[in-house]
């Protein structure tokens, strides 16, 4: 059964420890949320999970594979953290076909798979003949990056603040996309967000991060949104 195992994971820059997660297991079929203020360590944790930065101590295993020892996990993992993941000198269609080719997916199959994003794209992504990705709005760049994640039907999905820059209609379409994909594929899905409503509606489990540590790890219930709101209200007071 697929799982993610994080053990004794830490990251320091010189004498500044920015992340310290002694133990965290995320299991098959979970939609796992990360919440926290800016600088809490959410993106750092994702970057360590994707082997984009090296840990100071500890390890991350996706399935049975330690991410810094074997790249086979990349075949089952899709992630979008920010615009640096895009090839913005390509047009959206070219970008999607490039991803498909990298995974051995034919152009015909890529075109078929893109149909699932019709509501999410809202007529603004495909068929814009003169527009390269770099010419798109921030929200539409976000859409291209997120769609690229789902295109290869990964077993592990990592999305950092996916609702940023999206209009309300696109946010709802994305939420439905994540829910439908989870129902169909039972992938491990990790989502960070500052939007407490979205994260509590989407996730079955939420971890609250502060100053690089997980201060609370809870199964979502009818009280979770209120408890998170109270926590952040208290932080302001």
Alpha helices in the chain (DSSP H): 42-49, 92-102, 107-113, 118-121, 138-150, 168-185, 196-202, 224-236
140 touches 95 (CB < 8 A): no
**162, 174 in Cβ contact below 8 A?**
yes
Name the percent of the chain lying above pLDDT 70.
99
Average pLDDT for runs of 10 along the chain of length 237: 94 94 94 95 96 96 91 94 94 96 96 94 87 94 97 96 94 94 92 95 96 96 95 72
pTM above 0.85, yes or no: yes
Structural domains of the chain in order of their starting residue, each with its CATH number: 3-84+154-236 (3.40.50.300)
Give SS3 for 127.
Answer: coil
Strands 3-13 and 16-27: antiparallel
Per DSSP, the three-state class of 230 is helix
pLDDT, one tens digit per residue, over 185-222 is 989 999 999 999 999 999 999 999 999 999 999 999 99
Residue 14 confidence (pLDDT): 87
Backbone angles phi, psi at 36, to 5 degrees: 160, 160
The two counts, helices (H) then strands (E), for the chain are: 8, 10
Taking phi over 0 as left and psi of -120 to 50 as alpha, with beta for the rest, 114 belongs to alpha
């Amino acid at each position: 059964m697929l799982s993610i195992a994080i053990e004794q994971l830490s990251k320091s820059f010189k004498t500044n420890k920015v992340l310290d997660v002694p133990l965290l297991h995320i299991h098959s079929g979970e939609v796992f949320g990360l919440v926290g203020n800016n600088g809490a360590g959410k993106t750092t944790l994702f970057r360590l999970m994707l082997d984009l930065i090296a840990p100071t101590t500890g390890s991350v295993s996706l399935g049975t594979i330690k991410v810094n020892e074997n790249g086979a996990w990349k075949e089952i993992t899709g992630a979008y953290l920010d615009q640096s993941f895009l090839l913005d000198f390509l047009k959206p269609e070219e970008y999607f076909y490039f991803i498909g080719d990298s995974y051995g997916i034919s152009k015909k199959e890529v075109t078929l798979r893109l149909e699932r994003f019709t509501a999410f794209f809202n007529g603004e992504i495909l068929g814009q003949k003169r527009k390269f990705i770099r010419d798109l709005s921030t929200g539409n760049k976000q859409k291209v990056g997120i769609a690229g994640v789902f295109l290869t039907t990964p077993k592990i999905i990592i999305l950092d603040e996916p609702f940023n820059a999206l209009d309300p209609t696109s946010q709802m379409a994305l939420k439905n996309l994540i829910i439908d994909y989870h129902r169909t594929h039972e992938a491990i899905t990790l989502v960070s967000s500052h939007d407490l409503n979205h994260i509590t509606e989407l996730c079955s489990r939420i971890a609250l991060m502060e100053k690089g540590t997980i201060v609370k790890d809870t199964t979502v219930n009818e009280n979770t949104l209120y408890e998170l709101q109270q926590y952040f209200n208290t932080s302001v007071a």
